[in-house]
Chain A
Amino acid sequence: MSLSPVEGVALAEIESAGDGDAPQANRFVGRSPGQLAWARLKRDRTALVSGAMLVFLVLVALAVPLIQALYGVGPKEQFQNRLDGFGMPLGYAGGVTGEHWFGLEPALGRDIFIRMVHGLRTSLFIAFAAAVITAAIGVALGTLAGYLGGWVDAVINWVTDLTLAMPFLIIALALTPTVALRFYGQREAVPAYFQIGVLIGIFALFGWTSTARLVRGQVIALREREFVDAARASGAGLGHMLFRQLLPNVWAPILVSFSLAVPQYITSEAALSFIGVGLTDETPSFGRMIYRSLDYLQTDPAYVFFPGITIFALVLAFNLFGDALRDALDPKSSR
């Protein structure tokens, strides 16, 4: 990037200010890198399709109470009368009917569609919250390490290495019940919001490393640039240097890593719930549903497909959109 976004915005303002009375054809129009990226993104078909898919899924997640009211079935309602003697749903494809769009769970007879809608909301909430927190931590530590260098850099780097050396899944596995045990007794029920909070906390604890590395690298490259020297020479304080001078220049890679982090947290949450340490069966979640479905692969194969395909579509949409965003924000990329 030859122009920093800040300089770019200024350029765009100057250009538009000079946009005088006489409208001319083929006039040179200044655009900020943000506008350029937006224009590129709009031209990208993959971005449009995956973006639309994401907007749809987020809307579904936001409209859960409305959908439940219209659909008329709750996530905990059991429809035992629609199961056969072995607890298998009656009918085809796991009991798909007009009333139960995705069929029923074997044995418990709960509606799969409404549980998935609820699961989608939980999953997206956890993923977005974790991504925001880790981005904040990563950006703060990354800019500090990159800008200050010296022992601050060395310490932050070592902590990053250490965090990367910790086996995430196993620590998460071990830590979640330990934390729950700290606050709730052996047989007490742990409320859903607490489990969600613990999950977000664990993701925050381990997830910041990649953003920190990324930002650190970018800041080190920027540190020696003239505008930073100029700001420093003018007596700018640390806060001004970090937030007004350096950060505006690294927002593009941060945004990309944010958009690629969200699907990672979606899969991690599902994975933790799958192995039984994230959310319990009380809270609907994709991971839990797929874990339960493993017992019915032979008798009710349709059960695994609904949550499996939904989570695939969700993650694929995020990944495609993140890639498209990266291409749109990178002035060097040409596809």
Chain B
Amino acid sequence: MTRFLVRRLLSAALTLFAVSVLSFLMFFALPRDPVTGMCPKNCNPERLERVRQELGLNDPLIAQYAGYMKGIVTGRDLGSAQGGRCDAPCLGWSYVSNEAVTDSIARVLPVTLSIVIPAAILWLLLGVGLGMVSALRRGTWLDRAAIGFSLTGASLQLYFVGAVLLIVFVYNLRLLPVPSYTSLLDDPLRWASGLVLAWVALAFLFSAIYARLSRAQMLETLSEDFVRTARAKGLAKPAVYGRHALRAAITPVVTIAGLDVGGALGGTVITETTFGLNGMGRLAVDAVRSGDLPTIMATVLIAAIFVVLANMVVDLLYAAIDPRVRLR
């Protein structure tokens, strides 16, 4: 177990290191001059040169990368124009929004978390539930309806579903307010009513994929010997399906769920754009639009961290779910 954990952590760290180097190179080394993208329209050569100095763009690339990494781990001193001292998880200074990148991330991260976590709970319950039921009731109208649902959902686009939801529930029936983010701690009701459409849209599309996958897995598991044995020894159906079959069938679902949730936490760009919510995804898009390199770099890194973390959690969950998996 410990050995597995150590090896897994090392490989995760290696992946993160590679992602950080690659994205660093991509954004800081590739453009002709990263500063022109960062500077507001009325930029004179002196100011450009000063920004270049402050960002350390005249230093060798390795020194720049080392400085950036040091900032994340221990914090570092940026020039006075960049707000001076920048504390521990320092992701640099954004010249576009004139604040530390860490601050803007801290502002938008709760929005994305509020969108993704409830939506993920919804889509997992709905998707896996639907898949299980349709596998157990194979060939009935319920199964066919579930297949139709998952085929439709797998081919629909989030922005289209979102637009239709907005037209129906916000503009025509006027049941819900125009989506917006309120902190859960301030007002749970407004938090939920402002985000519920985003949850529904995400859950609809994702649960389609999960219903399909878990149906196929469940059907495969149900035909296995151990299920028949469990039934033959007189175990009740709910116990067989719920405890034995579900456990074996759900492993691949967990893998996909890890990837999806990890990916979504890094920014649900399309959901946020469709519903006009300002989360990580919007921050990334806006940073790209304005050429705000430190912010882009930070969003890519954080997204990668979420994916890598989610993958690790999945690997650990495997062992808990499937007794056949031994951690080595």
Interface of A toward B, CB cutoff 8 Å: 161-162, 164-171, 173-175, 177-179, 181-182, 186, 263, 267, 270-271, 274-277, 287, 290-291, 293-294, 297-298, 301, 304, 308-309, 311-312, 315-316, 319-320
Contact = CB atoms under 8 A, between A and B. Distances in A.
B30 A178 contact: yes
B136 interface: no
Contacts of B163: 290, 293-294, 297, 304, 308
A167 B300 contact: yes
A81 to B, nearest CB: 28
A287 B308 CA distance: 29
Given A182-B30, A311-B157, A297 B15 contact: no
B288 A173 contact: yes
Contacts of B155: 263, 312, 315-316, 319
Which secondary structure dominates where chain B touches chain A? helix
Contact of A298 (B26, B171, B299): B171
B321 interface: no
B1 to A, nearest CB: 22
A182 B151 contact: no
Q: How large is the interface on B (under 10, 10 to 19, 20 to 34, 35 or more residues)?
A: 35 or more
A309 B304 CA distance: 33
B32 A170 contact: no
Contact of A277 (B157, B267, B288): B288
Given A276-B289, A304-B160, A315-B156, 8 more contacts: A165-B15, A165-B16, A166-B304, A169-B281, A170-B299, A277-B285, A297-B167, A311-B157
Contacts of B157: 267, 270-271, 290, 308, 311-312, 315
B37 A186 contact: yes
Contact of B269 (A170, A178, A186, A319): A170
A181 B32 CA distance: 7
5 A-B pairs with least C-beta separation: A167-B303, A308-B160, A316-B155, A315-B155, A304-B163
Interface string B143-164: 0000000011011110110011
A298 B168 CA distance: 10
B270 A275 contact: yes
Contact of B160 (A170, A178, A290, A319): A290
Given A181-B31, A290-B160, A170 B300 contact: yes
A275 B288 CA distance: 11
Interface in B220-252: none
Contacts of A161: 15
A293 B159 CA distance: 10
A182 B15 CA distance: 27
B151 A174 contact: no
18 contacts: A165-B304, A169-B281, A170-B300, A170-B303, A174-B27, A174-B300, A175-B26, A177-B288, A270-B157, A274-B270, A276-B289, A294-B273, A301-B167, A308-B160, A309-B160, A315-B155, A315-B156, A320-B151
B32 A167 contact: no
A204 to B, nearest CB: 16
Query: Taking each of A165, A315, A320, which has the highest tally of chain B beta carbons within 10 Å of its own beta carbon?
Result: A165
Contacts of A181: 31-32, 37, 291
Interface in B248-291: 259, 263, 266-267, 269-270, 273-274, 281, 284-285, 288-289, 291
Query: Taking each of B37, B288, B296, B311, which has the highest tally of chain A beta carbons within 10 Å of its own beta carbon?
Result: B288
Contacts of A167: 263, 266-267, 300, 303-304, 307
B24 to A, nearest CB: 12
Contacts of A271: 157, 159, 269-270
